[in-house]
Chains A and B, each alone.
Chain A
Amino acid sequence: MTILEGLNKTFESKIRLGIMSVLVANESADFATLKALLGLTDGNLASHTRSLEEAGYIRCEKKFIGRKPNTTYIITQSGREAFTAHINALENFLRECKS
């Protein structure tokens, strides 16, 4: 089966794929928004964003709003490309299944 070629290992986790979906649609999102949208705990979200950051697909900006720390995640160009490639691979797979 060569069909699954082009699938990205980083996006195997549903949560990481969810994070990327949100960021592709919105460019950036803060920690609380992501947490609420995906229904995750702090620690869980943090570990997944860290792995995406290490892959260079997202970057994070930390700043203080008043006294509260605020973390915003922003999608990088390579992240956008990787995500698009992954979606294309999934769609190709479906197309080949149907034909």
Chain B
Amino acid sequence: MRSKAFIFTITAMYFVMLFILFLGLFIFANQKQVYNHNISLISKTSIKYLTGTVSDTPPATNGWCITRIIYDANMQSQNQSTLQNKTYCENYGEQRII
């Protein structure tokens, strides 16, 4: 027959262990960089996008977007050329753990 103190200690340690486990998991999931590539805004796709061969990408549901201004000074107009916003989005893909 174990003493009550022993059972209490083991139970307490069990909960502390559980807490640390979940805390670790929480930090891993929330604080870790979810996109494990080095985020370079000048990726191969974005270069194509900036040079105009790729048009606006669809909005990211699970990713990041960046908007740039396209200024064509040679627009055939006698007023200021249209400042066009062009948005590039990239999904995180399957990089997340959950």
A interacts with B: no
Interface set of B (CB-CB < 8 Å, partner A): none
